[in-house]
Amino acid sequence: MAIDLISYSLVPLFAALIIPFIPRKHRRITEIIANITLLSGIINLGYVIIYYLVLNDYTSYTSDAFTTLMLFTIYLVGMAITFFSTYYEVEKDTNFSSYYSLILVSVSAMCSLVMSRDFFTLYIFMEALSVCSFALITSDSKTFSIEAAIKYFFLTFPASVLIIFGISLLMINYGTFDFDTIKFTSMNFLTFVSLSFIILGFLIKAGIVPFHFWTPDVYEGSYSPVSAYMAGIVTKVGGIYAIIKIVMLLSSYGFGSNLSKLLLFTGFLSVFVGAIAATVQKNMKRMLAYSSISQMGYIILAAATFSPIGIIAAVFHLINHATFKTVLFLNSACVEKSTGTTNMDELKGLEHRMPWTSWTSIIALFSTAGLPPLSGFWSKLLIILALWQSGHIFYAVAALIASVFTLAYFTIMQKKVFFGKLPEKFNDIKEAKYQLLIPVVVISLIIIFTGVFFNRVFPYFERILS
C-alpha cells in the first residue's frame, strides 16, 4: 500500500469506530464528526490537487498523483453524500450512527482499495466495500431495499469466487501478488486465464451488461443518498477501477489485444443496452441507473483500447461520471423529498418551483450527454478519439450514436420532471433547502470549471497517468 497516504484511509476508519459510542440522542455530534472527518480530508486533497493544477508545475510531484486524484474523487462524493444526508431527514427511524459509520468505513475501504499495490489487498478491500454496501442499501427501512440488498448479494457473489480464483492462479504462476514485481514477460495461457477471471469478476461487480441485473433494482430501491453514493463512486471504485488498473498494468508490457476485443464488446453492449433501456423508464432513479450502466460502458470502451489516451479518457470519464451522476441522483432525492415520488408520469413543471434543482440537472445531463464546454464533452471526445486512433472505428461511431441516445433519454427526463405547466397538486411545493443544494451546486460548478479550464486539466491527467 501507499504508506504516505494511509492517513486518508485510517482517519475515516477511526471516526467510524468512534461514532457507535456516541449516544443516539446526540445525533448532531455524530453528523459533525462524520462531516468534519471527510471535510478535513477533502481540504487536504483539494489543496494538493489545485496547487498543481494552478501552478502547472509537476517537477516535485510524487508518483502517487493518480491515487491522490482518486482519493479526492472518493472524498468529494463521500462528503457530498454525508452533508446531504445530514439535512435530508426523510426516515425518522433510520439508525444514523450505523449509517454514518458505514459511509465512513466504505470511504476508508475505497481509499485503501485505490492505495493498494497488490491484487490481494485490492480483493480484500473490494469485499469490505461490498459488505458495507449491503448494509447501506438496507438503511432504508422499506422492504424493497432489503430485497434490493439480497439481490445485490446473490447476483454479485460469483464475482468474488472468480476474482479469488484468478488471483490464486496468478500466485501459482508468478509467486507474487505485487503489481510492481509481477513481470508479464509473456502472455501464457495461465496468465491470460487468471487475468480474464479477475476482469470477469470485476465486470460483474461493476454491473456491466450482461451482468447488470442487480443495478437498477439497487439504485431504485435504496435510500436516495445511498443510491447517489452507490452509483456515483462505490461501484466505480469497486469494479471499474480495478479493470483500469489491470489495463494500465498490461499496457505497460504491450499485451492485451485479445482482452481488448473482449472488453470492447462488453463495453459496447453495456453502452447500448443501458441507453436503450433507459429511454422508456418511468422512474427517475431507475432511468439514472440505466444511464449509469451506459456510462460505465463508455469507461470500459476507453480502457479497452489499451492506449495511453484511452486510459486518460477512462479515468477522466470515471471522475466525470462520479460528479454528474451524483448531481443527478441528489436532484432526484430532492424531487422525492419535495413531491414524495420519483415516478416521472406524476411529475411535471417542477422548474417553476425548484429552479436550482432544474438548472443543476440541466448542467449534469448536458455533461453526461457530452455537450461542450462541460467536462463530459471532453471525456467523451477523448474516448471517441482513443477508439478512432486505435483503429476501432465501428466502436467509435457506436459511442457517438449512443451519446445521441443519452441526450434523448435525459431530455425526456428533464421534460417530464421539470418542464411544462405546473399541476395544481404541486402548487405549494418548495425548492429544496439550501443546505441540500450546496453539494449539488458545488459539484455542478466543478463540472463547469473542469470543462472550461480543460487546457489546464488535460496536462494534469497526462502527467499523472504517464
Question: Which residues contact another protein by CB under 8 A?
Answer: 151, 154-155, 158, 162, 186-189, 192-193, 196, 200, 204, 210-211, 213-214, 216-217, 255, 257-258, 262, 273, 276-281, 405
- Report, in Å, the least distance between residue 118 CB and another protein: 24
Convert 337-368 to b/e letters by CB count within 10 Å (16 or more is b): bbbeebbbeebbbbbbbbebbbbbbbbbbbbb
Contacts of 112 (CB under 8 A, 6+ apart): 1, 9, 121, 125, 128
Nearest CA among 368, 383, 374 for reference residue 305: 383
- Report, in Å, the least distance between residue 300 CB and another protein: 14
In the 8-state DSSP scheme, what is residue 19?
G
Asked whether 156 and 204 are in contact (CB, 8 A), the reply is yes
Please identify, using beta-carbon distances, which residue of 154 and 394 lies nearer to another protein: 154
What is the distance of C-alpha 165 from the center of its chain?
26
Taking the C-alpha atoms of residue 121 and residue 242, their distance in angstroms, rounded to an integer, is 11
- Report, in Å, the least distance between residue 247 CB and another protein: 16
Classify the phi-psi angles of 283: left when phi > 0, otherwise alpha if psi is within -120 to 50, otherwise beta.
beta
Please identify, using beta-carbon distances, which residue of 111 and 250 lies nearer to another protein: 250
- Report, in Å, the least distance between residue 106 CB and another protein: 24
- Report, in Å, the least distance between residue 322 CB and another protein: 24
Gyration radius of the chain's alpha carbons: 21
Please identify, using beta-carbon distances, which residue of 246 and 354 lies nearer to another protein: 246
Please identify, using beta-carbon distances, which residue of 126 and 436 lies nearer to another protein: 126
In the 8-state DSSP scheme, what is residue 429?
-
- Report, in Å, the least distance between residue 269 CB and another protein: 10
Nearest CA among 124, 127, 155 for reference residue 218: 155
- Report, in Å, the least distance between residue 209 CB and another protein: 9
- Report, in Å, the least distance between residue 260 CB and another protein: 11
Asked whether 384 and 313 are in contact (CB, 8 A), the reply is no
Three cell numbers written together for 182: 509481477
Please identify, using beta-carbon distances, which residue of 286 and 353 lies nearer to another protein: 286
- Report, in Å, the least distance between residue 212 CB and another protein: 9
Please identify, using beta-carbon distances, which residue of 191 and 323 lies nearer to another protein: 191
Asked whether 362 and 374 are in contact (CB, 8 A), the reply is no
Taking the C-alpha atoms of residue 219 and residue 56, their distance in angstroms, rounded to an integer, is 39
Asked whether 127 and 42 are in contact (CB, 8 A), the reply is no
Asked whether 232 and 325 are in contact (CB, 8 A), the reply is yes
Q: Angle formed by the axes of helices 308-339 and 375-389, to 10°?
A: 140
Type of residue at 116: S
Nearest CA among 172, 169, 230 for reference residue 201: 169
Please identify, using beta-carbon distances, which residue of 101 and 406 lies nearer to another protein: 406
How distant, in Å, are the alpha carbons of 86, 110, 288, 394, 463 from that of 44? 22, 17, 31, 43, 20
Please identify, using beta-carbon distances, which residue of 150 and 381 lies nearer to another protein: 150
Taking the C-alpha atoms of residue 225 and residue 88, their distance in angstroms, rounded to an integer, is 8
Please identify, using beta-carbon distances, which residue of 185 and 427 lies nearer to another protein: 185
In the 8-state DSSP scheme, what is residue 64?
T
- Report, in Å, the least distance between residue 233 CB and another protein: 23
Contacts of 307 (CB under 8 A, 6+ apart): 251, 386, 389, 390
Please identify, using beta-carbon distances, which residue of 278 and 334 lies nearer to another protein: 278
- Report, in Å, the least distance between residue 51 CB and another protein: 43
- Report, in Å, the least distance between residue 262 CB and another protein: 7
Please identify, using beta-carbon distances, which residue of 67 and 235 lies nearer to another protein: 235
Please identify, using beta-carbon distances, which residue of 208 and 447 lies nearer to another protein: 208
